[in-house]
Amino acid sequence: MQVQFYLPAAVESTSPDTSTVPTAILQACSLCADLYRNNQKVFVYCANQQDAEQLDEVLWQFDAHSFVPHNLAGEGPARGAPIEISWLPPKNSRQVLINLTSTVPAFANRFSQIIEFVPQAESDKDIARQKYKHYRQLGVTPQTVQAS
């Protein structure tokens, strides 16, 4: 299992207004587009239905020049689109987990690659530290990546 923690960065979108969208959601959209172009199947795990629906909406509008096939879990084709978004545990097999929750999900070991985000706010960085420690306890040495 490979785990990467992405440090915050400015994310550019061609959609009309992303000023109110959390940075982690914009970063997740950017990574979804990159992973899709590299033929990876992705599960984006959100904290709740509202976050999942927001990510779904932003991804529909994210890049006017390249469509990223995605769906909320339970919608779309039986095995899901290449990018599946949910607040519930996955039902389909995927290679990559993008975790947008504050904990390491119990099903994380089902993925060969896990992507986590370090929050921008200093007060929220302890969440990332706790997740980092959790992965270390599992015998995984997470990588830190500067988001571009």
The order of strands in the sheet holding 2-7 is: 70-72, 83-86, 42-45, 96-99, 113-117, 2-7, 143-146
Neighbouring C-alpha atoms within 13 Å toward the C-beta of 62? 24
What's the pLDDT score for residue 148? 67
- The pLDDT assigned to 77 comes to 74
Query: Mean pLDDT lowest for which of 10-14, 30-34, 62-66?
Result: 10-14
User: What is the reported pLDDT for 60?
Assistant: 85
Average pLDDT over residues 86-109: 94
Phi, psi of 31 (to 5 degrees): -65, -40
Q: Which pLDDT does position 84 carry in this prediction?
A: 95
Indicate if the pLDDT at residue 64 is higher than 70: no
Looking at the structure, give the CATH architecture of the domain made up of residues 2-146.
3-Layer(aba) Sandwich (3.40)
* Residue 12 to residues 2, 76, 104, Cα–Cα distance (Å): 26, 28, 28
Domain ranges for the chain: 2-146
